[in-house]
Amino acid sequence: MQTVSKIWMDGELVDWDKAQVHVLTHALHYGTAVLEGIRVYSTDQGRVVFRLTDHIKRLADSSKLIALDLKYSVDELVEATKTLLRETGLEEGYVRPLVYRGFGEMGVNPLNNPTQVLIACWPWGAYHSPEAAEKGIRVCVSSWERINDNSLPPASKTTANYMNSALAKIDSLRAGFEDAIMLNNQGFVTEATAMNLFSVKDGVITTPPLSSGALRGLRRDAAIKVARDLGYDVKEENLRRTDLYLSDELFATGTAAEVTPIRSVDDRVIGPRGPITAQIQGTMSDVVRGRVDKYKDWAEYV
Ligand SMILES: Cc1ncc(COP(=O)(O)O)c(C=O)c1O
């Protein structure tokens, strides 16, 4: 991975190589942390962080859901992120805030361990292969069931949740796919390991509802709005795996993956990037860079 000069840790800008935690940090042992993933883009108007405030608000929500007492306000963490981006000079890439239970006591009870915050950033290009944005990716449906609200809350971007995603991802890669889609305990489609899903059938776009166990993705929300602006009927409804197989087009959204077409599911071919996917992908590329008037407020300048 490409590195930058500093990492923000509890109010201090620490040298990248010296940004360390104790080996008995609670989050390292018990998954007691929440994270965000945010993208920064270089534009003619300066650096744009897409929906920075919304991402930090979701970080605060994620913290609340797992009883992490966040000591910083949303505004303070927005400012801290901008300070870090100014200090490192990162032009384009990814920002990773993490709120975690630090060093104190050992044992499952996290309540006596301090809540700490770090914000890191680094250059990060395509999440899948460079050609994925056009050719699409091959995915499978995982045998790992998606976590649910009665086990680990999918609405919180808790690091522990990512073991569920990692299990599905590992198996998909070992089986020769590029990513995996997970079903919930009722058998309905939820999302991919770090992306929300959209199926296009007969011109109608459908994405699984949040109640399926899908994360409230900020790109998902943006893609729904953008697609409706473009005149498409967008439904939030349950999908079965067979609906995926029979889609005319299928795509995924996420901060890391942006808009990624899916060209096959379990080797049922859907095809390379379709026209509706291409249109939404193109518009989203402008939206995230602050080039669409209606969504200028989402573009937060460093
Ligand atoms: C499990 C999961 N679903 C969906 C997403 C997409 O969310 P967003 O569009 O906010 O990046 C992510 C992003 O990291 C994720 O981890």
| Cα–Cα distance list, 247 to 4, 172, 268, 273 (Å) | 42, 21, 10, 12
User: 120-143: per-residue pLDDT in tens?
Assistant: 999 998 888 889 999 999 999 999
Query: Could you give phi then psi for residue 110, rounded to 5 degrees?
Result: -90, -5
Question: How many percent of the chain have pLDDT more than 90?
Answer: 98
**Annotated catalytic, 296?**
no
pLDDT digits (tens, 9 = 90+) for 26-44: 999 999 999 999 999 999 9
Q: How confident is the model at residue 13 (pLDDT cuts 50, 70, 90)?
A: very high
Contact predicate 68/116, CB 8 Å: no
The answer to whether 82 touches 90, Cβ cutoff 8 Å, is no
Q: What is the pLDDT of residue 125?
A: 84
pLDDT tens digits for 180-208? 999 999 999 999 999 999 999 999 999 99
HEC profile for 18-77?
A: HCCCCCCCHHHHHCCEEECCEEEEEECCEEEEECHHHHHHHHHHHHHHCCCCCCCCHHHH
Q: How far apart are CA 47 and CA 90, in angstroms?
A: 9
Q: What is the mean pLDDT of residues 52-69?
A: 97
Q: What is the pLDDT of residue 126?
A: 84
DSSP code at position 114: P
- For residues 78 and 8, what is the distance between their CA atoms, to the nearest angstrom? 12
Are residues 261 and 274 in contact, defined by beta-carbon separation less than 8 angstroms? Answer: yes
Pocket of ligand 1 (CB under 6 A): 37, 165, 191, 194-196, 215, 217-220, 253-255
Q: Tell which one of 165, 215, 226 to mutate to probe ligand 1, the residue whose CB is within 8 A of the most ligand atoms.
A: 215
Residue 169: closest CA among 194, 197, 186, 136: 194
Of ligand 1's atoms, which has the minimum distance to the CA of residue 221?
A: 9
Query: What pLDDT score does 291 carry?
Result: 97
pLDDT score recorded for residue 51: 98
Chain mean position to CA 184: 19
pLDDT attached to residue 128: 86
- 78-115 pLDDT per residue, tens: 999 999 999 999 999 999 999 999 999 999 999 999 99
Residues 130-182: tens digit of each pLDDT: 899 999 999 999 999 999 999 999 999 999 999 999 999 999 999 999 999 99
pLDDT for res 130:
85
Q: Mean pLDDT for the chain?
A: 97
pLDDT in the model for residue 41:
97
